[in-house]
Amino acid sequence: MADVARAAGVSQQTVSRVANGLPNVNEQTRQRVQATMQELGFRPSYAGRSLRDGRYHSVGLCVNDVTKFGNLSMIDGIASAAREHNCAITLVEMSKTEEFSLAEATRRMAALPVDGIIIGMSRMAPDFETFDPLPGIGTVIVTMYAHPRVTTVDSDHYGCSLLLMDHLFELGHDQIRYIGGPSFSVDEQFRRAGWQDALERKHIKPQAPLEGDWSANSGYEAGRYLAEHDRTMTAIYAANDQMANGAIAALRDSGLRVPEDVSVVGVDDSLDDFVAHNELTTVRFDLHQRGREVFEHAVPEAGTVGKTVAIRIPGQLIIRHSTAIPRS
């Protein structure tokens, strides 16, 4: 900036005014300064400005694996909210191999240009219970587990199960098998708990849940197994759409019709791009809203008192044609 000032024959302050579009600059001067900035390839120093006004206009986001469906949609939702607040995202991916602790994630983020910290906890962190957020900076954990000292936000991975189970109950199903994701997944834990509680609330004994890995192939395996071993089942709740899609393929390969013989539901509403004529009954989450909630709690407006809350955003039941009344 000093260079520009010297080259244009004005003071630094004038350059500053021009750079920030402030008034009280002679039009000729402004143009001359702008020309000089162009010429020298002037780039305002983010460091200087940040140091000066103590804000970074960026929010930190720490995830362990960008490619997981949940994380992508998290980035999207937050990116959209951040843009509305004229804010960037500083993204850090934790090594997939190293242990993922909240303290470590916080330590890493704290050294970066962030006005708030968002940590995606898609599997339980070893130090969740004992974790204390850094004072003086907003911290939000994206997870279903509530925390006494940290605001947590997530789509309601428990409630989505209730929505789907109620739908199946209303159709008349009661023998509803469950195909879950890997058991270390937090989403899985809550989706399964919802399934189980829904059954128990109706005094139906849940049959053993099957464990997949979120992929269609694992859903296929599970569906195959169920088709061959469970004659009484009338519906399958797969914990995501991909596995549901695999399960449907398996059922059909086993000679069972969907939904006439077996109803199938999934979660996420993620198939549309990949499958033509998507017929799967599922739950859709409003990930942009989640992103907005996450962002706004991580970077509270000045004056907002950052009370610790636990926000669970309900999903929306999408009824298509993979569900019907059970075979008699």
The site for DNA (CB under 7 A) is made up of 1-2, 5, 9-14, 16-17, 19-20, 22-27, 29, 43-45, 47-49, 51-54
From a second copy, DNA, none, which one binds at residue 214 (CB under 5 to 8 Å depending on kind)? a second copy
Using the Cα atoms of residue 25, residue 29, residue 30 and residue 33 in order, give the sign of their dihedral: negative
**Nearest partner of 103 among 150, 163, 59, 43, judged by Cα:** 150
- Residue count of the chain: 328
Residue ranges binding a second copy (CB under 8 A): 41, 43-48, 50-51, 54, 56, 58, 66-67, 69, 72-73, 75-76, 79-80, 82-83, 88-93, 95, 110-114, 134-137, 214-217, 219-220, 242, 245-246, 249-250, 270-278
Find which of a second copy, DNA, none residue 276 binds, CB within 5 to 8 Å per kind: a second copy
> How many whole angstroms separate alpha carbon 285 and alpha carbon 314?
7
Phi, psi of 252 (to 5 degrees): -65, -40
Tell me the closest approach of the beta carbon of residue 142 to a second copy, in angstroms. 16
Tell the smallest beta-carbon distance from residue 108 to a second copy (Å).
9
- Shortest distance (Å) from residue 165 CB to DNA: 52
Residue 66, contacted partner among DNA, a second copy, none, CB below 5-8 A by kind: a second copy
C-alpha span between 32 and 35 (Å, rounded): 5
Q: How far is the CB of 92 from DNA (least distance, A)?
A: 19
Q: Which two tokens stand for residue 301?
A: 């407006």
**Which of a second copy, DNA, none binds 281 (CB below 5-8 Å, type-dependent)?**
none
- Measured CA to CA, the distance from residue 197 to residue 140 in angstroms comes to 28
Beta strands in 31-136 (DSSP E): 58-63, 88-93, 116-120
d(CA 4, CA 8) in angstroms, rounded, equals: 6
CB of 295 to DNA, least distance (A): 24
